[in-house]
């Protein structure tokens, strides 16, 4: 799977760990930065991830920051992106099953690295259920 990654300075360490995990299990990764813990403005790194997913250059995207809130908001401003803010296995699974989330947002200051990696694994393995949930997604895509 082609996966786009982006973070601000507060999500940099987890982004690097997630990138290594994804490459290790055979995914293709495009890293949109940032490349250090030096303070940056997160939209400069999050929007390119969301746009790559919306264009179809990446099948999924993962964005990271301190809390993940601003990153999720920035990603969701791009038409065609459904970004779920995840903080545990259930939010990752339900974000895929019910909302067909094609991007997730993680907060490095909110969860452990092991939890972040578990979220990524679950989110990648979980299929979208479709059915009654599909109509909701179609309505969102019309906006």
Distance CA 104, CA 120 (A): 8
Catalytic residue among 16, 59, 98, 133, which? 98
Considering 71, 129, 133, 143, which one is annotated as catalytic?
71
Angle, helix 113-125 to helix 12-24, in steps of 10 degrees: 50
**Distance from C-alpha of 108 to C-alpha of 28, rounded to nearest angstrom:** 23
DSSP 5-69: EEE-GGGHHHHHHHHHHHHHTT-EEEE----SSS---THHHHHHHHHHHHHTS-SEEEEEESSSH
Active site residue 9: no
Asked if 13 and 108 touch (Cβ cutoff 8 Å), the reply is: yes
Catalytic annotation, residues: 71, 98
């Amino acid at each position: 799977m082609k996966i786009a990654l982006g973070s601000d300075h507060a999500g940099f360490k987890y982004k690097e760990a997630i990138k290594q995990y994804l490459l290790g299990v055979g995914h293709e990764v495009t890293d949109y930065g940032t490349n250090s813990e030096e303070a940056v403005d997160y939209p400069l790194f999050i929007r390119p991830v969301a746009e790559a997913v919306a264009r179809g250059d990446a099948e999924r995207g993962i964005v990271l920051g301190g809390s993940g809130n601003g990153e999720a908001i920035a990603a969701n401003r791009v038409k065609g992106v459904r970004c779920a803010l995840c903080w545990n296995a259930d939010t990752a699974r339900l974000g895929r099953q019910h909302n067909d989330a094609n991007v997730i947002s993680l907060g490095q200051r909110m969860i452990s690295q092991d939890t972040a990696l578990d979220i990524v694994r679950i989110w990648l393995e979980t299929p979208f259920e479709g059915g009654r949930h599909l109509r909701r997604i179609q309505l969102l895509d019309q906006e």
